[in-house]
């Protein structure tokens, strides 16, 4: 069950401020409030999906295609392909997910380091 009290839904609704980086019908991208690297962006779909599995199973083809195209557009527009980057999606309690709205972290701008600390 999707929880509309989560902060990312409030950001999409305009109830919590953020600095938009990129937006289409299927994706919204903004900086993480507590960046873990020089570049730390969050990419979220506009629909109510709790996590990667929910999104992958239940989103429409247009939503899925539009979301990933947006992720790639942001990677390209920030010139990250040459220097490299990491994308992460945490899911559920053991995956360390804090906000129950599907999201991708893009970490870049400096060496990201080991996969797991
Ligand atoms: P998760 O642990 O769910 O994969 O990641 C949630 C991320 O959301 C964290 O990196 C956290 O810093 C970020 N975050 C939490 N609340 C806010 C907020 O109100 N605004 C922004 N921009 N990021 C947030």
The class that CATH gives domain 7-108 is: alpha beta
Look up tokens 């797991």; give the residue. 116
pLDDT digits 0-9 by tens, 10-53: 999 999 999 999 999 999 999 999 999 999 999 999 999 999 99
Q: What is the pLDDT of residue 117?
A: 79
CA of 97 to the centre of ligand 1 (A): 9
Does ligand 1 have an atom closer than 6 angstroms to the CB of 99? yes
| Tokens encoding 104 | 């991708």
Answer whether 104's CB lies under 8 Å from 87's CB: yes
Mutational pocket test of ligand 1: of 22, 33, 88, the residue with most ligand atoms within 8 Å of the beta carbon: 33
87 ligand 1 Cβ < 6 A: no
pTM: 0.98
């Amino acid at each position: 069950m999707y929880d509309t009290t989560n902060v990312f839904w409030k950001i999409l609704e305009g109830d919590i401020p953020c600095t938009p980086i990129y937006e289409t019908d299927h994706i919204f991208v903004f900086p993480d409030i507590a960046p873990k690297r020089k570049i730390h962006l969050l990419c979220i779909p506009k629909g109510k999906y709790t996590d990667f599995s929910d999104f992958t199973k239940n989103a429409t083809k247009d939503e899925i295609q539009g979301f990933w195209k947006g992720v790639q557009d942001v990677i390209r527009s920030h010139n990250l392909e040459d220097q490299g980057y990491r994308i992460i999606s945490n899911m559920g309690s053991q995956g360390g997910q804090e906000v129950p709205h599907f999201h991708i972290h893009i970490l870049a701008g400096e060496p990201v380091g080991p996969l797991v600390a």
